[in-house]
Amino acid sequence: MNRPFIPVSAFPPGIEQLGYHLGYIADLSFISKFLLPLHLLRIREYLMPAIVHFDVPSDDVERAKKFYSALFGWKFESFPEMQYNLFTTTNLDGTPGVGGGMGKRMDASQRIMNYFGVPSIDAAMKQVKSLGGKVLSEKMTVPGMGFLATCMDTEGNMFGLWEETAQAR
């Protein structure tokens, strides 16, 4: 299906950050030459879900924080009530990268988990099932932030889904 394109320069400065605000991707620079016309198309229908968050489970959280701070320069923000730490990454060009989180490993088999941003977690979970994947944990609420679920694809790979919404309760 052919879709009309217009140059990004036709939009106001800062349009490359639009994806970040929609909760899909941190940077639209990969389409630096073209963007779907917003007046013709709803942008959420045409952006591909991207990794918006990743979790790093740790046996010794303080040791892991020290390791990643020294290796990648990550800065951590602690949430003691959740026993969780958030961090931000930086792309090689200095722009903000994907955010992540670190907490205590809950199970010996727990590994790094990538979360893909989706406009509707309910619709995405239904689609995972219809495509032969599995929903491992049903929709969970992160109050004031959004909803998440963990899934497995047809090849046994685990991944997460994330719907960002401040109205999550």
Instruction: Give the CATH number for residue 130.
Output: 3.10.180.10
Q: Check if the beta carbon of residue 8 is closer than 8 Å to that of residue 16.
A: yes
Instruction: Look at residues 68, 84, 111 and tell me which one is the last residue of a structural domain.
Output: 111
Give the closest residue to 10 by CA, choosing from 45, 46, 42, 35.
35
Residue range(s) defining the domain that contains residue 136: 114-169
Total domains in the fold of the chain: 3
Residue 139 within any structural domain of the chain = yes
For residue 113, the Cα-to-chain-centroid distance in whole angstroms is 10
Residue 45 within any structural domain of the chain = no
Residue 44 within any structural domain of the chain = no
Residue 14 within any structural domain of the chain = yes
pLDDT score for 85: 97
Residue 43 within any structural domain of the chain = no
Residue 138 within any structural domain of the chain = yes
Residue 104 within any structural domain of the chain = yes
Strands (E), 29-169: 34-35, 51-58, 75-79, 84-90, 96-104, 113-117, 134-142, 146-152, 158-164
Phi/psi of residue 66, nearest 5 degrees: -60, -45
Residue 51, pLDDT above cutoff 50:
yes
Tens digit of each residue's pLDDT (9 = 90 or more) over 60-109: 999 999 999 999 999 999 999 989 999 999 999 999 999 999 999 999 99
Q: Check if the beta carbon of residue 85 is closer than 8 Å to that of residue 79.
A: yes
Which residues are 114's β-sheet partners? 54
Helices (H) and strands (E) in the chain, counts: 3, 10
Question: Collapsing DSSP states into helix, strand and coil, what is residue 60?
Answer: coil
Judge if 84 and 70 occupy the same domain: yes
Judge if 105 and 130 occupy the same domain: no
Residue 31 within any structural domain of the chain = yes
Residue 23, pLDDT above cutoff 80:
no
